[in-house]
Amino acid sequence: MDTAGLRDARDLLEEEGIRRSRAAAARAELLLHVLDRSEPLADVDRRHLAEFAGVNRILVLNKADLPPRLILPPESEGLVVDVSCSTGDGIEALKAAVHRLVWSGHAGTGCTTS
């Protein structure tokens, strides 16, 4: 599930979208936590890293085609994968990481058998 970005809401509709995003993240078996690696870590990013600590996640550092400025705090949990949505670099590594976590039993597929 792709969710609305988590930030300070500007109106009631956006506030509801953010509430639903947090609820979906809390239920997720695997979270792809996307950060912009071309910018320094912002306070809001630090809050989200802490908020979702302990959640099974992959930290997806986007914009790998730009010079890196992001430094993750040492307490950050999760597998880290660098990607560039502009060039496609790292997408296969991200797919492989998701595949590895699902098939290792660390994340489910959402599929059930009867």
What range defines the domain where residue 99 resides? 31-103
Q: What is the pLDDT of residues 23-37, one digit of tens each?
A: 887 788 898 999 999
Confidence of residue 91 (pLDDT cuts 50, 70, 90): very high
50 within some domain: yes
Lookup: tokens for 31: 């979270």
Q: How many domains, in total, are found in the chain? A: 1
Q: Does the CA dihedral 30-34-37-43 come out positive or negative? A: negative
74 within some domain: yes
Q: What is the pLDDT of residues 36-50, one digit of tens each?
A: 999 999 988 898 898
Lookup: tokens for 17: 């979208």
Q: What is the CATH number of the domain that holds 43?
A: 3.40.50.300
Residue whose token pair is 């809050």: 47
81 within some domain: yes
71 within some domain: yes
Instruction: Specify whether the backbone of 88 is left (phi greater than 0), alpha (psi in -120 to 50) or beta.
Output: left
39 within some domain: yes
